[in-house]
Structure 1
Amino acid sequence: MHIHNISKQNSILNTFISEIRNTDIQKDSMRFRRNIERIGEILGYEMSKALNYKPSTIKTPLGTCNINLPENNIVLCSILRAGVPLHNGLLNYFDTAENAFISAYRHHKNDPESFEIIVEYLACPNLDNKTLILADPMLATGQSMIATFEALKPFGTPKEIHLVSVIGAQKGINFVEKNLNSNIHLWIAAIDKELNEKGYIVPGLGDAGDLAFGEKLQH
């Protein structure tokens, strides 16, 4: 897997990452959602450099202009519900993309420190020979990403796959890398070293879905 850690170079991305982590600023759910969206835009821009382009001629009011334009047929798939703001940020840049949505959540049985990933809802177009962008803001254990990838297999075989995350744990990244083929690209805004005993990223930022849309009842 090709890992693109955008935080390795200083940029305005640092500001947005600091704000979604900050316990005072993240109390403003609207700002939290907007920051995730802006991070999605930055990751989308960086990812666009790896797409395929073809020469095109554009007619202007005063003549013609030659320019290279992307030729990828993109399907943007996000994991609900935390993935919605990230999806919107990517869609701001890939506005002609087809869209897919999937629900994946942690189901705790008797032990609060162990869980399985449950996939219930999935809406997806045909993926054959297309560019799949799979977006999940928090790449913690990596299990949600793999479960989603498996659930998408009946919809076709993408020509190329890009994973997009805001914050990931090294352990989760290693798990995804072990279970997916080497040609897949991961675009990520920050990588943290640890997971706690409940499988949350440390220092991370907390529960991205709750911060974006409010706390949920556990089941």
Structure 2
Amino acid sequence: MFDAALRNIIDPPLNAIGTRIAAIGVSANAVTVFGFLLGLLAVPLIAIEQYGAALILILMNRLFDGLDGAVARHSLLTDFGGYLDIICDFIFYSAVVFGFALASSENALYAAFLIFSFMGTASTFLTYAIMAEKHGISTDIQGRKSLYYLGGLAEGGETIAAMLLMCIFPNYFMIVALVFGSMCWVTTITRIYAAWLTFGKSH
């Protein structure tokens, strides 16, 4: 919901750092993979309830997620890079939630609900991008990307906020999971409606 507005704030410093990283020959894909692996290290930390350390790794993952795009824009923006970035994001999001299921059996049902909700946002996001490419539709509202980014109530910024809340207030994981999972379903429904408006009337 706030991602487009946030880009105006975070893009200038990310682009400045990304320019320097690209200049020394580090590829955007290397930045993506390194950030992804850092993020996965948060999972065992969450499982053993070391939430502060996990929070730091989550923030580092998100920093590298922003940097990979900045590096790509100053070196080589590729389809595979966009593909790699998005699958790493979705796996990382679910992995963090899985960590909370490992931390407490009481969290398991709510973690399952949230991962279930991610399936709605992920599938509607990716299939819209496929159809947009087929119909020649593009947007740069969130900067130059390898695929179409369809917004919604629950986007990257809200996902990060939810994960941080889970780490800061782990005893309230169930509430955060229910609220954010519900936001995901609102996003899923509105994206299906947007797809119907864009593609449904052409047939």
> What's the TM-score, normalizing by structure 2?
0.29
Higher relative contact order (CA 8 A, sep 6+): 2
> What's the TM-score, normalizing by structure 1?
0.27
- Which is richer in helix? 2
- Which is richer in strand? 1
